[in-house]
Amino acid sequence: MASIQDKIYEKKVSDKWVNTHYVQEVCRHFLFGYTIYKKKFKQTIPIGCYCLVYNISIAGLISLLLTHTLDGQQLFDTIHYMLYMIVLDAYVYTIFKYRRKMLELNAKLDEWFHYKELEQEALIIREKVEAKASRNVNIYVGIMLSCNFLFCVMPMMKLSFASDRSDMLNFLIYPCYLGFPLDTWWGFALTYAFEIVCSTATFSLYARLTSYGFVTSMHVNYQLKLLRVALQTLEIRSVSIMERLGFSMQSPLWKKRYERTLEEEINTIAIHLQYLHGLSDYIVQILTPATTSTYTGGMWIVCFSGLVMYTAENESMLIGKFFVIFSAELMNVYTFSLTSEYLITSFEETINSIYFCPWYNLPKTCTKTLLNMMTLLMKVPSLRTIVGYKANIVNMGAILNASYTYFSLIIATKS
């Protein structure tokens, strides 16, 4: 059922623009499963298959620890990937738990507000956000899939140049025991093929979910930009609306009608701001588990990447493989930080816009509405982990500096 706030919004906004469901299209790949289009029919891989693949991988890693004697490098390698798969399960959990909220959020973000006398500006802003979001998503997904390609190809390159092939466990994408005999070509091929599927699903899910957060925050940012334009042009638009209604400045009813028009417009802006603030809280709530797993679980993965690099002796391919994982983790941290920064900066700019709007020329009822808007904006939605760690650019810089120091220490110790 729609909330009271939604009903007020729908009653106030009788004329909305609905775009081509861009946010829903971005969300489709991981919310309903990956869809392969073919002519007049389509095949869909359900999102539950992702979870099944990850859990099989975790079971294979546990069985490897229980049934095989692993040296230092293989032990760190195995624990590293077990952490990696557990983090991915947290991503899948996010999708299953918040599926209904995501559907509601997508439909609301795809609705663009219609301000009087700002039709052309709204159209330009809407087209700009869709073009910018599409470009950034394509770049980000392309980088992640390129990382996946390198990740899958590196072990095969190592196998082609290796002289000692006694332990085929070293030539898998990650050490995993699925029960197939690795000393036979078919057993190794089946295990390797399963790991390729798991790796591709991993990087695809990472890319889609993090880009979804980026797209939703960008839509809030640009809709708030439209709101700020409406606020700054409040007086000009009110005069234009009055003239369209046939009122003249010499009319005795002008002042009363003009103040009423100002009140209606500023109340509409306030309702729109409250609506976007609520959607931002939705975004933060949905992305909190994924942010926590990326910042907390991702940092454990980075630490174990360093241990694997430390225990690896003259394994350039292995070092390169874990460098790819490390780069992908930092890319996800950057994307979540950018998502949070979009929300923070957009509401801070809205606060400044209220400060500098012509409030001194407005009736008292309008200034009271502006004060209520300022009170609402005292709490700016931003991404945090469960332990309260802020996912912003400042903390991302701290993570980069710590990672650089950590890996510099490892390289210096090895040399």
The per-residue pLDDT for 16 is 47
* Per-position DSSP letters for 395-407, written without gaps between them: HHHHHHHHHHHHH
**CA dihedral over 194, 195, 197, 201, signed as positive or negative:** positive
Per-residue pLDDT, 359:
74
Q: Is residue 230 part of a domain?
A: yes
Selection from 337, 86, 342, 336 nearest residue 219 by Cα: 342
Lookup: tokens for 355 = 């400060």
Residue 294 lies in a domain: yes
Q: CA–CA separation, 146 vs 203, rounded Å?
A: 9
Range of the domain at 218: 11-25+101-164+200-414
Q: Is residue 304 part of a domain?
A: yes
Q: Tell me if 114 is assigned to some domain.
A: yes
Q: What is the pTM of this model?
A: 0.80
Q: Is residue 238 part of a domain?
A: yes
**Total number of domains constituting the chain:** 1
| C-alpha dihedral (95, 96, 101, 105), degrees to nearest 10 | 30
**b vs e for 93-103, b when ≥16 Cβ sit within 10 Å of the residue's Cβ?**
ebbeebeeebe
Helix (H) or strand (E) run with residue 195 in it: helix 185-232
- Residue 395, Cβ neighbours under 10 Å: how many? 16
Instruction: Round to whole Å and give the CA distance between 127 and 227.
Output: 16
Tell me, what's the pLDDT at 158? 78
Tokens (6 digits) for 242: 């009055």
Residues in Cβ contact with 277 at an 8 Å cutoff, skipping those fewer than 6 apart: 347, 376, 377, 381
Question: Which residues of the chain are modeled with pLDDT < 50?
Answer: 1, 4-19, 37-41
Residue 66: other Cβ atoms inside 10 A? 8
Phi (first) and psi of residue 44, to 5 degrees: -120, 130
What is the predicted pLDDT for the residue at 6? 46
Residue 40 counted as domain residue:
no
